[in-house]
Amino acid sequence: MVRRALSALLASTVIAGCATTSLSFPNATPGKPLTVPAWEERPQGPGPFPAVVLLHSCHGVSESNHEWSRWFRDQGYVALVVDSWGPRGQDKTCAPNLPNVPDIPNTERFDDAVGALRWLHSRPYVDRSRIGVIGWSNGGVFALALVNGPSLERQRRRGVVLPEPGFRASVGVYPGGCYSLVDELVTRPLLVLIGDADDWTIPGPCVAMVDAMRRRGADARVVLYPRVYHYFDVVGQPRAYLPEVGNRNKPNECCGATVAFDAWAFADARRRVADFFGYHLKAR
């Protein structure tokens, strides 16, 4: 059953139609930039268009990411799907690292997103003042970090600076790592979408993070979907338990999480993302 469930998550990417452009760009790692693959969806016309950077989960770039990017294109955005795993040969099973195999430093995905932003700034059809970021699960925490004041300062100290005006708004879809940002503060609008039954990136820390940030004046909000699990937006994903995936919320068991598509939550998430980015990224 797990193999069948993962097939929806790990389906090899098929580029449909001529609107999708495969490309690459250097990331922002000081002194040793890495060439990062990406895929662009672009609306018809000269622009300039608002844009969105898409950051994948620990399962790597999936057909779901590409489906979202095509949806963004149809909404009038340039959409850039960034592949952080491919150039690093990273395992895409979400299993815990093998003994003596180092994890990829958290700074790597941050550097990839900064490189993506720089690349978008170089495109004449992109409005550099209207670029947002969205991330799922593992990518979600980096979508948060890219608008988090203390995270930006930590990266600045090692020489990685977001080109102005940075990312104007961020969406985290069932983001990991909320617990690490509870005492910090986003400086740009943030929307978090998560199921209240998610047992992989549990909702409690994300609710606590958003509540704490709001008390300190942040423009942040969280939406909890009742009885909804991880990957609720992966169309066709049957409810399944993935026993091999790493899960910090199960220290005695090491691993395992539930995933399932939910049509109602997916439709609501699409509506909220359209409204959120429409307000913050489209000219008013």
Over the chain, what is the mean pLDDT? 92
pLDDT tens, position by position, 254-277: 899 999 999 999 999 999 999 999
Give the pLDDT of residue 269: 98
pLDDT tens, position by position, 122-144: 999 999 999 999 999 999 999 99
pLDDT confidence bin for 25, thresholds 50/70/90:
very high
Please answer whether residues 272 and 35 qualify as being in contact, where contact means their C-beta atoms are separated by less than 8 angstroms. no
Please answer whether residues 261 and 237 qualify as being in contact, where contact means their C-beta atoms are separated by less than 8 angstroms. yes
pLDDT tens, position by position, 169-202: 999 999 999 999 999 999 999 999 999 999 999 9
pLDDT tens, position by position, 195-225: 999 999 999 999 999 999 999 999 999 999 9
The contacts of residue 282 (CB under 8 Å, 6+ apart) are 50, 76, 130
Give the pLDDT of residue 70: 98
pLDDT tens, position by position, 75-98: 999 999 999 999 998 889 898 876
CA–CA gap between residue 180 and residue 127 (Å, rounded): 32
CA–CA gap between residue 265 and residue 58 (Å, rounded): 21
Indicate if the pLDDT at residue 19 is higher than 70: no
Work out the average pLDDT over 29-40. Answer: 97
pLDDT confidence bin for 102, thresholds 50/70/90:
low
**Which residues is 191 bridged to in the sheet?**
171, 221
Work out the average pLDDT over 228-250. Answer: 95
Residue 204: left if φ>0, alpha if ψ -120 to 50, beta else—which one?
A: alpha
- What is the token pair recorded at 180? 């690490």
- What is the token pair recorded at 284? 């008013």
pLDDT confidence bin for 63, thresholds 50/70/90:
very high
Q: Which CATH superfamily is domain 14-230+264-279 in?
A: Alpha/Beta hydrolase fold, catalytic domain (3.40.50.1820)
CA–CA gap between residue 146 and residue 131 (Å, rounded): 12
Report percent pLDDT > 70 for the chain.
91
The type of residue at 278 is: G
Please answer whether residues 170 and 150 qualify as being in contact, where contact means their C-beta atoms are separated by less than 8 angstroms. no
Give the pLDDT of residue 252: 81
- Give the count of beta carbons closer than 10 Å to the beta carbon of residue 103: 9
Domain ranges of the chain: 14-230+264-279
Please state the three-class secondary structure of the chain as a single string. CHHHHHHHHCCCCCCCCCCEEEEEEECCCCCCCCEEEEEEECCCCCCCEEEEEEECECCECCHHHHHHHHHHHHCCCEEEEECCCHHHCCCCCCCCCCCCCCCCCHHHHHHHHHHHHHHHHCCCCEEEEEEEEEEECHHHHHHHHCCEHHHHHHHHHCCCCCCCCCCCEEEEECCCCHHHHCCCCECCCEEEEEECCCCCCCHHHHHHHHHHHHHCCCCEEEEEECCCCECCCCCCCCCEEEEEEECCCCCCCCEEEEECCCHHHHHHHHHHHHHHHHHHHCCC
Please answer whether residues 56 and 84 qualify as being in contact, where contact means their C-beta atoms are separated by less than 8 angstroms. yes
Indicate if the pLDDT at residue 9 is higher than 60: no
